[in-house]
Amino acid sequence: MELTRGRFLSLLGAGAAGVLLGGCAKSPPPVDVTAAGFGTEATGTVKLWCRSALQAANQLLVDRFHAAQDRIRVELTPVQDAQFVTKLATAIRGGRVPDIVDIDDINSALFINRGVFADLTPLIEALPFRDQLSPAHLALGEHDGRYYALPSVADNSALWCNLELLDRAGVDIDEATGSFDGYLDAARAVSGLGRDVHGWSFPGNGSGALGFTVQPHIWATDTDLITGEIGHQRGDIVGNDALRRTLGLLHTLWDEGLVPSDADADDASRWAANFHAGRIGMMPNGYGILVPQAPPGLLDHTEVRLLSGPDGGRSFFDGGTNFCLPNGSDNPSAAWEFALFCLDVEQQARLPESGYIPVRSDAATPEFRADYPLALPSLEDIGAGYAPLTLAYNRIYNQSDGPWLAMFRRAVFGGDIDGAMAQAQDHYDEILRQGDA
Ligand X SMILES: OC[C@H]1O[C@H](O[C@H]2O[C@H](CO)[C@@H](O)[C@H](O)[C@H]2O)[C@H](O)[C@@H](O)[C@@H]1O
**Binding residues vs ligand X (CB under 6 A):** 104-106, 155, 208-209, 212, 268, 286, 289, 319-320, 398
What is the gyration radius of the CA atoms in the chain, in angstroms? Answer: 22
Helices and strands, number each (H, E), in the chain: 21, 13
Q: What is the DSSP letter of 314?
A: E
Q: Which is nearer to ligand X, 268 or 304 (CB)?
A: 268
Minimum Å distance from CB 201 to ligand X? 12
Minimum Å distance from CB 315 to ligand X? 14
Distances (CA, A) of 367 to 32, 306, 345, 362, 371: 38, 22, 12, 12, 6
Minimum Å distance from CB 316 to ligand X? 11
Q: Which is nearer to ligand X, 147 or 317 (CB)?
A: 317
Neighbour-count burial of 248, counting CB atoms closer than 10 A to its CB (0-12 exposed, 13-18 middle, 19+ buried): middle
Residue 137 Cα to chain centre, angstroms: 9
Minimum Å distance from CB 106 to ligand X? 5
Minimum Å distance from CB 81 to ligand X? 7
Neighbour-count burial of 93, counting CB atoms closer than 10 A to its CB (0-12 exposed, 13-18 middle, 19+ buried): buried
Minimum Å distance from CB 161 to ligand X? 17
Cβ-contact 233, 227 below 8 angstroms: yes
Minimum Å distance from CB 158 to ligand X? 11
Helix (H, G, I), strand (E, B) or coil at 131: helix
Q: Which is nearer to ligand X, 35 or 82 (CB)?
A: 82
Cβ-contact 97, 329 below 8 angstroms: yes
Q: Which is nearer to ligand X, 204 or 319 (CB)?
A: 319
Cβ-contact 133, 80 below 8 angstroms: no
Q: Which is nearer to ligand X, 81 or 264 (CB)?
A: 81
CA-wise closest residue to 31 among 329, 341, 337, 339: 329
Report how far residue 368's alpha carbon sits from residue 364's, in angstroms, rounded to the nearest whole number. Answer: 5
Q: Which is nearer to ligand X, 209 or 230 (CB)?
A: 209
Neighbours of 15 (CB within 10 A): 11
Minimum Å distance from CB 206 to ligand X? 7
Report how far residue 414's alpha carbon sits from residue 247's, in angstroms, rounded to the nearest whole number. Answer: 11
CA-wise closest residue to 158 among 384, 394, 321: 384
User: For 23, how many CA atoms within 13 A lie in the half-sphere containing its CB?
Assistant: 9
Minimum Å distance from CB 84 to ligand X? 11
Report how far residue 202's alpha carbon sits from residue 209's, in angstroms, rounded to the nearest whole number. Answer: 9
Minimum Å distance from CB 284 to ligand X? 9
Q: Which is nearer to ligand X, 384 or 417 (CB)?
A: 384
For the chain, the straight-line distance linking the first and the last C-alpha, in angstroms and rounded, comes to 12
